[in-house]
């Protein structure tokens, strides 16, 4: 079972590049949502060939991002996968000491942002199909703060801990059978300095 208490810190360029492939990041995200899945199930979600998805899942596994899960099929022939941790963390400080590392980090960050933005655009396009309750609950806000780097880091840590608390609460409820009205929710947080 993955360690749902801890994120896996990505500190090497090889692992970062493995995850920075657009299809691999989609597969990793889909696997995190599903908790466990086969290549066939994931291939359906991303509209790719099962053989291609299997190849990319093996690459993610080679870097310790995902792992085998106990077989869930009736005949046990399908290989099941699960995330190897609660999530991942990629910190700028781990990629600053060489230009090629910094470039890989920037490319990965841009990909992650583009995919998150696409998820949000898809929600906006589908917004009329969601209930008024869900649309009212979905936050869309911007705060322009005046902070030090240390204060922003403290805010990041507090927001991450709060999100983790709600994730654990939701997972516990689902495990107890409380699935009524529950949906997958993406929460994207960005905090960055800018000059006006």
pLDDT one-digit tens code per residue, 60-102: 999 999 999 976 655 667 899 999 998 899 999 999 999 999 9
| CA distance linking residue 20 with residue 114, whole number of Å | 12
Q: What's the pLDDT band for 6 if we cut at 50, 70, 90?
A: confident
Average pLDDT over the chain, rounded to whole?
A: 92
Mean pLDDT in residue range 186-193: 93
Selected residue with higher pLDDT from 127 and 72: 127
Mean pLDDT in residue range 142-152: 96
| CA distance linking residue 20 with residue 111, whole number of Å | 7
Mean pLDDT in residue range 185-196: 92
| CA distance linking residue 26 with residue 42, whole number of Å | 9
DSSP letters spanning 93-139:
GGG-SSHHHHHHHHHHHHHHHHHHHHHHHHHHHHGGGS-HHHHHHS-
Mean pLDDT in residue range 129-158: 95
Res. 47: pLDDT tops 50 = yes
The pLDDT tens digits of the residues spanning 22-32 come to: 999 999 999 99
Contact present, 101 and 13 (Cβ < 8 Å)? yes
What pLDDT, on a 0 to 100 scale, did the predictor assign at position 159?
Answer: 96
Q: What's the pLDDT band for 1 if we cut at 50, 70, 90?
A: very low
H helices then E strands: how many in the chain? 7, 5
Above pLDDT 90, what percent of the chain? Answer: 88
Whole-number Cα distances in Å, 55 to 27, 35, 40: 11, 19, 12
């Amino acid at each position: 079972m993955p360690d749902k208490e801890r994120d896996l810190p990505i500190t090497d360029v090889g692992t970062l590049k493995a995850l920075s492939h657009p299809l691999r990041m989609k597969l990793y995200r889909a696997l995190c949502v599903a908790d466990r899945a086969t290549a066939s199930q994931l291939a359906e979600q991303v509209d790719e060939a099962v053989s291609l998805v299997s190849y990319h899942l093996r690459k993610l596994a080679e870097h310790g991002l995902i792992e085998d899960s106990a077989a869930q099929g009736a005949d046990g022939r399908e290989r099941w996968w699960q995330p190897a941790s609660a999530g991942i963390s990629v910190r700028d400080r781990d990629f600053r000491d060489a230009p090629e590392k910094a470039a890989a980090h920037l490319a990965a960050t841009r990909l992650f942002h583009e995919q998150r933005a696409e998820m949000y655009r898809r929600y906006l396009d589908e917004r009329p199909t969601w209930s008024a309750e869900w649309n009212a609950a979905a936050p869309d806000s911007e705060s322009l703060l005046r902070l030090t780097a240390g204060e922003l880091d403290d805010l990041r840590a507090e927001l991450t801990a709060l999100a983790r608390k709600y994730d654990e609460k939701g997972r516990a409820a689902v495990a107890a059978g409380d699935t009524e009205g529950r949906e997958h929710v993406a929460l994207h947080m960005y905090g960055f300095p800018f000059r006006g």
